[in-house]
Amino acid sequence: DAGVIQSPRHEVTEMGQEVTLRCKPISGHDYLFWYRQTMMRGLELLIYFNNNVPIDDSGMPEDRFSAKMPNASFSTLKIQPSEPRDSAVYFCASSLTGTGQETQYFGPGTRLLVL
């Protein structure tokens, strides 16, 4: 298995632009998670899906952030408009179940820089 795939790996954009991050979970995994990592706040969960349905989006910073999962093999995290404080590494992870008995497998992350 190729593991969790994220694209792009690096993104540099200007303030005000729309940014779309993409994730392909491991095949057969029912749970997908989006995390953000910054020096100030560490690793924080933004949103997670179960069977393509958003379950908990309480970590999404504000309305500028949105996430979708149109099918079991694809998810997007969109920031519109982007701001310099959104600069971070964004991770996607997936797991077979949400019980904790199954490992969450992380993708390589997308390093976002908003100028």
Partner 1 sequence: AQTVTQSQPEMSVQEAETVTLSCTYDTSENNYYLFWYKQPPSRQMILVIRQEAYKQQNATENRFSVNFQKAAKSFSLKISDSQLGDTAMYFCAFYRYNQGGKLIFGQGTELSVKP
Binding site for partner 1 (CB under 8 A): 31, 33, 42-45, 48, 50, 55-56, 89, 91, 93, 95, 97-101, 103-106, 108-109, 111
Least spacing, CB of residue 16 vs partner 1, in Å: 27
Least spacing, CB of residue 23 vs partner 1, in Å: 14
Least spacing, CB of residue 72 vs partner 1, in Å: 16
Written as one letter, the residue type at 30 is D
Written as one letter, the residue type at 40 is M
Least spacing, CB of residue 59 vs partner 1, in Å: 9
Residue 59 or 81 having the CB closest to partner 1? 59
Residue 18 or 41 having the CB closest to partner 1? 41
* C-beta separation of 12 from 113 below 8 A: yes
CA-derived radius of gyration, the chain: 13
Residue 17 or 22 having the CB closest to partner 1? 22
Residue 39 vs residues 5, 28, 62, 88: alpha-carbon distances, Å = 23, 33, 19, 8
Residue 65 or 91 having the CB closest to partner 1? 91
Burial 69-83 (b: 16+ CB within 10 A, else e): beebbebebebeebe
